[in-house]
Amino acid sequence: MHPHTYAIIGAGPSGLAAARALDVAGIPFVGYEASTGVGGLWDIENPRSTMYESAHLISSRTTTEFTEFPMRSRADYPGHAVMKEYFGQYADAFGLTEHFRFNTRVTDVVRDGAVWSVTAGGPDGERTDTYAGVILANGTLAEPNVPTFPGSFDGEIMHTSAYKSARQLEGKRVLIIGAGNSGCDIAVDAVHHAASVDMSVRRGYYFVPRYLLGKPSDTLNQGKPLPAPIKQFIDSRVLKLFTGDPVRFGFPKPDYKIYESHPIVNTMVLNHLGQGDLDVRADVDRFDGNTVHFRDGSSGDYDLILLATGYTLDYPMVDRAELNWTGAAPSLFLNIFPPTFTGLYVMGMIEASGIGWQGRYEQAALIAAYLRALDRSPAQAAAFRDRVRDEPWPDLTGGYKYLGLDRMSYYVNKDAYRGAVRAATEALVAPAKVRA
Ligand SMILES: Cc1cc2nc3c(=O)[nH]c(=O)nc-3n(C[C@H](O)[C@H](O)[C@H](O)COP(=O)(O)OP(=O)(O)OC[C@H]3O[C@@H](n4cnc5c(N)ncnc54)[C@H](O)[C@@H]3O)c2cc1C
Domain boundary among 238, 272, 307: 307
CATH code for the domain of 373: 3.50.50.60
Instruction: Give domain status of residue 435, yes or no.
Output: no
The answer to the question of residue 399 being in a domain is yes
Domain check: are 338 and 419 in the same one? yes
Q: Is residue 293 part of a domain?
A: yes
- Residue 177 lies inside a defined structural domain of this protein: yes
Q: Does residue 436 carry a pLDDT above 50?
A: no
Q: What is the structure's pLDDT at 3?
A: 66
Pair 341, 213 in one domain: no
Percentage of the chain with pLDDT > 70?
98
Mean pLDDT confidence for 43-67: 96
* CA atoms in the 13 A half-sphere facing the CB of 118: 27
What is the structure's pLDDT at 222? 77
- Which residue CA neighbors atom 11 of ligand 1 most closely? 356
Q: What pLDDT does 430 receive?
A: 78
**Arithmetic mean of pLDDT over the chain:** 95
CA of 74 to the centre of ligand 1 (A): 22
Same domain? For 105 and 70 the reply is yes
How high is the pLDDT of residue 431? 59
CA of 141 to the centre of ligand 1 (A): 6
| Cα(400)–Cα(322) distance, integer angstroms | 29
Confidence class for position 434, pLDDT limits 50, 70, 90: very low
> Cα of 139 to ligand 1 centre, how many Å?
5
> What is the residue with the minimal CA distance to atom 35 of ligand 1?
10
The answer on 200 and 294 residing in a single domain is yes
* pLDDT of the residue at 223: 80
Mean pLDDT in residue range 133-155: 97
Which of 285, 307, 329 is the last residue before a domain boundary? 307
Has residue 270 been placed in a domain? Answer: yes
Q: Residue 365: is its pLDDT beyond 70?
A: yes
pLDDT in tens, 266-294: 999 999 999 999 999 999 999 999 999 99
Number of compact structural domains in the chain: 2
Residue 94 inside a domain? The answer is yes
Estimate the crossing angle of helix 268-275 against helix 181-190, to 10 degrees: 40
Q: Which residue has a Cα nearest atom 27 of ligand 1?
A: 139
Query: What is the tens place of the pLDDT at every residue in 194-232?
Result: 999 999 999 999 999 999 999 999 998 778 899 999 999
Region 125-134: what's the mean pLDDT?
A: 97
pTM above 0.85, yes or no: yes
Q: What does the pLDDT average to over 235-258?
A: 93
Lowest mean pLDDT: which of 188-202, 222-236, 317-331? Answer: 222-236
Instruction: Name residue 196's beta-bridge partners.
Output: 173
Q: What residues flank ligand 1, with Cβ below 6 Å?
A: 9-15, 32-35, 40-42, 46, 48, 50-51, 55, 57-59, 64, 105-106, 137-139, 141-142, 182, 317, 348, 355-356
How would residue 4 be classed by pLDDT, with cut points 50, 70 and 90? confident
Distance, first Cα to last Cα, the chain: 30
Same domain, 291 and 315: no
Residues 303 and 333 in one domain: no
For the residues 336-365, what does the mean pLDDT come to? 96
| Centre of ligand 1 from the C-alpha of residue 150, in Å | 32
Do 168 and 130 share a structural domain?
A: no
Mean pLDDT over 257-270 rounds to 94
Q: What is the Å distance from ligand 1's center to 429 Cα?
A: 29
Same domain? For 215 and 338 the reply is no
How many CB atoms within 10 Å of residue 271?
14
Dist. CA 196–CA 175, nearest whole Å: 8
- Can you say whether residue 39 is alpha, beta or left, with left for phi > 0 and alpha for psi between -120 and 50 degrees? left
Does position 303 have pLDDT exceeding 60, yes or no? yes
Whether 212 and 249 share a structural domain: yes
CA of 390 to the centre of ligand 1 (A): 33
Same domain, residue pair 320 and 299: no
Mutate to test the pocket of ligand 1, among 60, 138, 358 (most ligand atoms within 8 A of CB): 138
Residue where one domain finishes, among candidates 279, 307, 335: 307
Is 376's pLDDT higher than 50?
A: yes
Per the domain annotation, does 436 fall within a domain? no
Range of the domain at 294: 156-307
Q: Rounded distance, CA 23 to CA 381, Å?
A: 19
The answer to whether residues 243 and 384 belong to one domain is no
pLDDT mean over 186-199:
97
* 8 A C-beta contact, residue 86 and residue 17: no
My answer on whether 121 and 181 are in the same domain is no
